[in-house]
Amino acid sequence: MKLRQAWRLVCTCMVGVLLLGSLPVLAAVPATAIIEGTLQSTGGGPAADGDYAVVFALYKDQAGGSAFWSEGPVTVKVASGQFTYSMGSATPLKAADLTTSAWLGIQIGQDPELARKPVHSSVFALRAAVAESLACSGCVGATQLDAAALKDYLKAGDLAAVALSGAYADLQGAPDLSAFIKAANLADVATTGAYADLTGAPDLTAYAKTAGLAKVATTGKYIDLGEIPVAAQLGKSCGSNLVVVGLKADGALECAAPAAAATIPPDGIDEISNSLIWNQFIDAFSSAAAMAIPDNNPIGSYTEIDVGDVGLAQKLTVSVELANSDISGVQVWLYDSANQEYVLYDKSGKKGEGIKTSYPDLTKTVSGDLTYWVGKNPKGKWRLKVVDTAFLNNTTDGQVVKWSVNLQTLSSKKIQIKGDLIVDGTITNASLAAQLPVPSVLQTRVFSDYTSRATGSGGSYYFGGSEFANAIKPQKADSTILISINYFGESNDHDHHTRLQYAVNNGGWNDFDLTGFGQQGTLKVGSYPDSDYNSTPHNYSTVVAKSFNTTGTVSFRMYHFNGGTFYHNRSVNTSYESGPSTLILQELSAANSSYEKR
C-alpha cells in the first residue's frame, strides 16, 4: 500500500482580482488571482517556516487530465503554516481558458501533487476582459425606430404593479389569509420533520442505539453472530482413500487425499492436536488515558498506542469510544504503524453526543482499508487524531474516552497448551539455559470396576478381592508411586467413612493422610465423614504420591466402615454399596520429585 505524502493542504481561499470602482469601464482586467492557504505536515502540526518551491496548475476536472495553465516552480514563503501567492505573476491567466469550472492543483517540491481544490467565481473576473473586445456595427437604437412600429407592444407603464414586482401585496382583490397559519408561526418540526426539533421529546439515552448494536442485531443473519460454533454433521464420512482435514462452514467433513492432508496450514495446529494446542490469540492494545478534544480547533489533538509484536494479524479491528456535544462537526483520522491514513468519521451531518463502535466490523471506514493488515505484523505506534470543527466554548468539548487496536494473531512468539503436559525427556528453558527434571512413567497398573455390597448391623468392608490383589512392584527403589482414586459409594447409615491404605511386602496396613479429600463435611485424617440419612450417592476423586524405597511388593486397598461400628460405637442396620470405582498406580522414575495432591 502506498504511503501518505509529506504534506497536507488543509484549506485554500481564492481571493481573486481586485477591481476598483474609480477605474475606467474599459480598463484592462488584471490577469492575476490571489490564493491563500494553510500547509500542514501529516502529523497534524503546521509546516515549518521557510521558502518552498511550489508549482500551481489549473485543470478542467477534479481528477485526471492535463493542466490548461501552470506556473512554477516559484518560491512561496510559509509562516506558521500559512502562505499567500499571486497566481499569474509569472505566467498570465488567460480568460479564454476559464469558460467552465476549474480545479486548482498544488505541488510542493518533489512531492506528488496534493488533492485538487475547486476554484470559485472570483477568479472568473478575468472573463470580463472579453467584453472589451466587443464592437457594434450597424446597431439600431430606439431613436431610429418609428413610434408606430411599437404601438401594438405592451408598455411597462400599462402593466399592473404586480406584473413588475411579483409581490403578493400588489395583487388586486387578494383573499384574506389572516385566518391561516403562517410558516413563520410554525414550530421548527413542522417545516423540517426532524426528530431533534420536537419539543418535549422522550429521553431515549437508556435505550440501545443502532450504532452500538452488534451487526447481528440489525441483520438477524446467523453468519453475523460472533464465535459461531461449527457443528459436525453426524453420520457422514469421507469416501475411500480419503482422510478428514477439517470441517466446512455447514458442518460437513472436508476430505482430501492423504498426500494433501500432509500439508498443514500455519494455523492448523489446533485441528491436528484435537484443540489441545493453540497458536492463535486475541490481543487488545488500549489507550492509557482519556484525551480531551479542543473545541473549534482545526489542529485538533491526537493520542497514540504502542502495538506490541504478537505475530501476524489474521484480523484487525479498531474500537473507538468518543463523547462530544455535537458529533456532526467532528472528524476522526487513524494513522497506522506505517503512517497510512484512514478516515474513520467525517462530520456525518447527524447530531449526536457520542461515537462508540468498532471499525471495520461494525462500522465501515470512510476511507482506507484496515484489511490491509491481514497477514502482516502491525507492530509499532498507532495514532488517533480528532478535530472538532463546531463552536461550543473554544476550550474543550468532550473527550476520547478510550480506543484500542484489537488483533487476532497467528503468533510466532507464544503457544498455548490446554490440559496436562506430559513429557518423556527434559524441558529446556532456553532463556535461562536451565533444565527441569521431568519424571517418566516406568509402569502403570489400573484396577477398575470394583463393586462390593454388604448389609447388617455395623461392619467394615474393602473392595477388590483379596487384600493383596491391588499391588505393584517398583522397578527402582527411589521411584515415586502416584496413586489416583475415583471412588463411588452409597450407604443408608447415619455416617460412613473411607480410607486409602497401603502395605509394604505384605506387612501391616497403614493409612494415607487424605486431609482435604472429598466434597462434604470436615475431613479427618484417613476418613471421609458424611452425615446424611437418605442414601445419597457420593462420587469423588483424588491423587496422592509417596516413595516407598523398595523394589518389593506395595499393596493398596480402599477401606470402608460405617458409623454404627466406628463413629458412634453403636449398632445400626446398614446397607452399603461401592462401585464402579477405579484405582490407578503409576511408577515415576525421577527421584526426589515433588508432587501435590489434586
* Average pLDDT value for residue range 211-216: 83
Beta bridge partners of 103: 59, 118
- For 239, the grid coordinates are 469416501
CB of 95 within 8 A of CB of 75?
no
Q: Is the dihedral of CA 509, 515, 517, 523 positive or negative?
A: positive
Q: What is the spatial distance between Cα 29 and Cα 130, in angstroms, rounded to a whole number?
A: 9
List, as one string, the DSSP characters of 295-360.
TT-SS-EEEEEEE----EEEEEEEEEEEE-S-GGGEEEEEE-TT--EEEEEE--S---SEEEEEET
* Average pLDDT value for residue range 492-497: 50
Residue 476 has pLDDT above 50, yes or no: yes
CB of 471 within 8 A of CB of 483?
no
More confident residue, 121 or 104: 104
Residue 482 has pLDDT above 90, yes or no: no
Q: In the structure, what pLDDT confidence band is assigned to residue 33 with cuts at 50, 70 and 90?
A: confident
Instruction: Tell me the range of 23-37, 91-105, 383-397, 490-504 where mean pLDDT is highest.
Output: 383-397
Instruction: Tell me the range of 56-60, 217-221, 349-353 where mean pLDDT is highest.
Output: 56-60
Q: In the structure, what pLDDT confidence band is assigned to residue 377 with cuts at 50, 70 and 90?
A: very high
Q: What is the spatial distance between Cα 97 and Cα 103, in angstroms, rounded to a whole number?
A: 12
- For 334, the grid coordinates are 487513524
- Return the CATH class of domain 7-131: mainly beta
Residue 65 has pLDDT above 50, yes or no: yes
Q: What is the spatial distance between Cα 409 and Cα 377, in angstroms, rounded to a whole number?
A: 9
User: What is the predicted pLDDT for the residue at 19?
Assistant: 35
Residue 125 has pLDDT above 80, yes or no: no
Number of C-beta neighbours around residue 265 at 10 A:
10
User: What is the predicted pLDDT for the residue at 23?
Assistant: 38
Q: In the structure, what pLDDT confidence band is assigned to residue 22 with cuts at 50, 70 and 90?
A: very low
Q: What is the spatial distance between Cα 268 and Cα 283, in angstroms, rounded to a whole number?
A: 19
Residue corresponding to grid cell 466402615: 561
**CA-wise closest residue to 459 among 501, 502, 500, 491:** 491
Domain spanning 283-410, CATH architecture: Sandwich (2.60)
User: What is the predicted pLDDT for the residue at 358?
Assistant: 95
Which pLDDT tens digit goes with each residue over 252-266? 888 888 764 456 777
Q: Which of 255-259, 393-397, 477-481 has the lowest mean pLDDT?
A: 255-259
Q: In a 10 Å sphere around its CB, with 0-12 CB exposed, 13-18 middle and 19+ buried, how is residue 24 labelled? A: exposed
Q: Please give the backbone phi and psi of residue 589, each rounded to the nearest 5 degrees, phi first.
A: -85, -30
Q: What is the spatial distance between Cα 286 and Cα 284, in angstroms, rounded to a whole number?
A: 6
More confident residue, 139 or 343: 343
Q: What is the spatial distance between Cα 366 and Cα 343, in angstroms, rounded to a whole number?
A: 5
HEC string of 309-322 equals: CCCEEEEEEEEEEE
Q: What is the spatial distance between Cα 520 and Cα 167, in angstroms, rounded to a whole number?
A: 97
Q: What is the spatial distance between Cα 485 and Cα 491, in angstroms, rounded to a whole number?
A: 19
List, as one string, the DSSP characters of 533-569.
SS---EEEEEEEEE----SS-EEEEEEEEETTTTTSS
* Average pLDDT value for residue range 100-107: 86
Q: Are strands 460-462 and 354-359 parallel, antiparallel or unpaired?
A: unpaired
What is each CA distance from 67 to 33, 106, 207, 240, in whole angstroms? 17, 11, 54, 68
Which pLDDT tens digit goes with each residue over 289-324? 999 999 999 888 999 999 998 888 889 999 999 999
**Does this chain's domain 283-410 share its CATH topology with 441-588?**
yes
- For 396, the grid coordinates are 474543550
Give percent above pLDDT 70 in the chain: 70
Name the residue ranges covered by the structural domains of the chain. 7-131, 245-272, 283-410, 441-588
Q: What is the mean pLDDT of the chain?
A: 75
DSSP 3-state helix, strand, coil percentages of the chain (rounded to 5)? 10, 40, 50
For the domain covering 441-588, report its CATH number. 2.60.120
Q: What is the spatial distance between Cα 57 and Cα 60, in angstroms, rounded to a whole number?
A: 10
What angle (nearest 5°) sits at the alpha carbon of residue 37, between those of residues 91 and 297?
175
Residue 591 has pLDDT above 70, yes or no: no
pTM here is 0.33
Which pLDDT tens digit goes with each residue over 421-473? 777 766 666 554 455 555 677 888 877 765 655 555 444 444 444 556 678 89
Residue 571 has pLDDT above 60, yes or no: no
User: What is the predicted pLDDT for the residue at 463?
Assistant: 47
* Average pLDDT value for residue range 202-219: 81
Q: In the structure, what pLDDT confidence band is assigned to residue 416 with cuts at 50, 70 and 90?
A: confident
ω before 580 within 30° of 0 (cis)? yes
Task: Look up residue 383 and give its DSSP letter.
Answer: E
User: Which H helix or E strand runs over 454?
Assistant: strand 441-457
